Structure 1
Amino acid sequence: MMNVHEIPKDKLPITILTGFLGSGKTTLLNYILTEKHGYRIAVIENEFGEVDVDSDLVLASDEEIYQMQNGCICCFVDVRNDLIDVMKKLLAQKDKFDHIIVETSGLADPTPVATAFFADRSVADEVNLDAIVTLVDAKHIDQHLYDPVLDGRDNQAVDQIVAADRIIVNKVDLANETGLAKLEGDLRGLNQTAEILRSEFGVVDLDNILNVNGFQPSYVKERAEILQIDMTAESDHEHHHHHHHGHLHDETVSSISLTFEQPFVLDKLHAVLTAYLDEKGPAIFRTKGILSMAGDDRFYVLQAVHQLFDLRPDHPWQDDQRRSKIVFIGRDLDRDEIERKLSSCLVD
């Protein structure tokens, strides 16, 4: 788990709670809101519905819940703008809350939701995207992951898993151990770094899903160590072939990890990342890393969702840890191209 001192000070942590239809998000949310954990939590819920925007952004004073029902938060720019407006209202009274949970609709891709928090600087400077938590229905998820009607590239169930910092396999009481082991192997094929938890009725140790600091550099390192991922080498899992029910499931989802001993030139790196993510960003779900910059004794935190990225200094390096590690998760990743572009930004 993260140490308390590693969590950004004076920033309001945000958890994005996602999962396919029927995975148990509301059950988990109710559990969080009724447990004695000491957090004061505000909730933003997004569901489908043809209702006026102004009448739906209503704060339920007893539960501190905002409901957004004027469209899917991941599909409509106007709804994401509404999300930012709600966030600004909450930030105006941030002393009342310790944590914000955004519950997406069951058909939402969580990455545009995460992107919204990077897009507005006044919000980005006040909040910390703590984690994307994805629930998976242990009994029914196969029919969504391997739906023969979909081509894989438009599969929200897959997108939700790929984007996750924590994956909760829910309803384990409805599955046997053999099925669970197979499912967890498939989940690991889609997402190499997320911790996988099991639950019944959404009951989990809340320390494993709140204040995990999933977008911070030490978390990337921690996940790599726990999962024994070699961040310097290409893993056998970087190309995933899933044959189920006669269906080839989106083999383009992969993860690329790179390590650099030499420091980067900040301006060059910023320009290269901007150009590369502008071009390839729609296919890149997440980018995150710990980066060393020439002439600066602090490590830099890189966190990105699709095209939008944030690169900023953090704490000073420890002398024995100064090396850059960066992870890309997405589709159709070209390792040689990425490594070549990043290497061009290193100090000669």
Structure 2
Amino acid sequence: MQKAEKIKVIILTGFLGAGKTTLLNNILSNDKGKLNFVIENEFGKVSVDSTLVQKNYNQLFELNNGCICCSLDAELIEVLTQLIIAEKQPDCLYIEASGVADAGMLASVFKRDDVLKYFNLTQVICLVDAENFEDRVTEVPEMYRQIIAADRILINKSDLVRPAYIKELESRLKSLNPFAAIEPTIHGNFSIDPVPDRSMSNYAKIDQFQTIETNAGHRMKSIAIAVPEEFDRDQLYASLSVTLYLHYHQVYRIKGFVRLKGEENPVLLQSTGNKITLTAHTPSDSQKYFLVFIGRDIERKGLERILFGYKKEKVLEN
């Protein structure tokens, strides 16, 4: 029988060796009073991490030989279906993704209409290895997707590097993902609580923010574009959906506020994996309208053409 409340979902992501299993063990040990289920994903046929997870959970599922976000999609949905029809459903589902998983694509599964009915993805936590970040970030594109998809970034092993470097790393991570809450941890010591408020209203100074184009490693950029005019909902949705489909390996994330024709309040637009969502938003007194694009080798002119091109075409037609 379906619970009155949706099953809370928390995704743990981070590159190999960042300390995800240790973090999961700490979270589970602090959350013993609840009915917790765990999904462990390994990139290979044999699971190692599942044997390391301490028994502070009620049930564990293993998904091996894939990256959970592509070839294991069907298996993940099968597990979620089992949870929905189970006589006793969990309070929380923790997913420890493979170190090479695409966290954005994984999170997008929980934005599907059929999944949203039963599950509530509350946060995506990315663990960053402070000691090895510099060695990995220029070699592994998957790290960027993990960082950019996160609601909260934990800089683990922070005791093994200089305090000044932690500040530098925080600044660098913030330039890659200005939406995430960032904090240092030691040995994965961390307790789950709501993500600190980082409302998009914090980015009201669009004139300053839109000048930020940060190159880091694989030519990563964060570009903000002011969008004061109204958009047609269907055309904007279609345009950005096609962009994500055709340029998924370039455009990693989109987030911001827009106004839509015929709708009184603005909406928060954001991409999760390759899926666009539009959520009604109560405007603030200093409401600004802009979209932030984060990705690799993206250019302002190309993004503006995606956003405004169809309007120019209409003018030419007339």
Of 204, 223, 233, the residue aligned with 1:266 is 233
Of 298, 303, 309, the residue aligned with 1:338 is 303
Of 39, 42, 50, the residue aligned with 1:44 is 39
* Cα deviations by residue, 1:23-52 (Å, 9 ceiling, x for unpaired): 111111111111148654322110133269
Distance 1:258 1:12, change over 3 A: farther
**How do residues 288-327 of structure 1 correspond to structure 2 at under 5 angstroms?**
288-311=255-278, 313-314=279-280, 317-318=282-283, 320=285, 324-327=289-292
* Counterparts of 1:102 and 1:134, CA distance in 2: 12
Deviation at 1:232, TM superposition (A): 4.3
Task: Say whether the 8 Å CA contact 1:282–1:307 is kept in structure 2.
Answer: no
Q: Secondary structure at the match of 1:341?
A: helix
* Counterparts of 2:13 and 2:27, CA distance in 1: 14
Partner of 1:212: 195
**How do residues 101-250 of structure 1 correspond to structure 2 at under 5 angstroms?**
101-118=94-111, 120-146=112-138, 150=139, 154-207=140-193, 211-212=194-195, 219-221=198-200, 225=202, 230-235=205-210, 237-241=212-216, 249-250=217-218
Distance 1:270 1:139, change over 3 A: closer
* Counterparts of 2:292 and 2:298, CA distance in 1: 11
Deviation at 1:111, TM superposition (A): 2.2
Task: Say whether the 8 Å CA contact 2:210–2:226 is kept in structure 1.
Answer: no
Distance 1:105 1:189, change over 3 A: same
Partner of 2:50: none
Distance 1:10 1:333, change over 3 A: farther
Q: Secondary structure at the match of 1:261?
A: coil
Q: Secondary structure at the match of 2:110?
A: helix
* Counterparts of 2:303 and 2:154, CA distance in 1: 31
Task: Say whether the 8 Å CA contact 2:254–2:271 is kept in structure 1.
Answer: yes
Aligned residue identity for 1:270: Y
Partner of 1:87: 80
Q: Following TM superposition, where does structure 1 have runs of at least 4 consecutive aligned residues deviating by more than 6 angstroms?
A: none
Across the aligned residues of Structure 1 and Structure 2, the Cα RMSD in angstroms comes to 3.3
| Matching of residue 25 in structure 1 with residue 11 in structure 2 | no
* Counterparts of 1:37 and 1:66, CA distance in 2: 18
Partner of 2:247: 280
* Counterparts of 2:9 and 2:31, CA distance in 1: 19
* Counterparts of 2:68 and 2:228, CA distance in 1: 40
Query: What TM-score do you get using the length of structure 1 for normalisation?
Result: 0.74
* Counterparts of 2:211 and 2:227, CA distance in 1: 21
Equivalent pairs counted in the alignment come to 303
Aligned residue identity for 2:63: M
Deviation at 1:306, TM superposition (A): 4.3
Task: Say whether the 8 Å CA contact 2:12–2:97 is kept in structure 1.
Answer: yes
Task: Say whether the 8 Å CA contact 1:19–1:136 is kept in structure 2.
Answer: yes
Aligned residue identity for 1:135: L
* Cα deviations by residue, 1:208-251 (Å, 9 ceiling, x for unpaired): xxx439xxxx85515xx2xx67334455541325xxxxxxx21x
Distance 1:34 1:237, change over 3 A: same
* Cα deviations by residue, 1:188-210 (Å, 9 ceiling, x for unpaired): 34333322111111112422xxx
Task: Say whether the 8 Å CA contact 2:9–2:121 is kept in structure 1.
Answer: yes
Distance 1:323 1:83, change over 3 A: same
* Counterparts of 1:94 and 1:339, CA distance in 2: 51
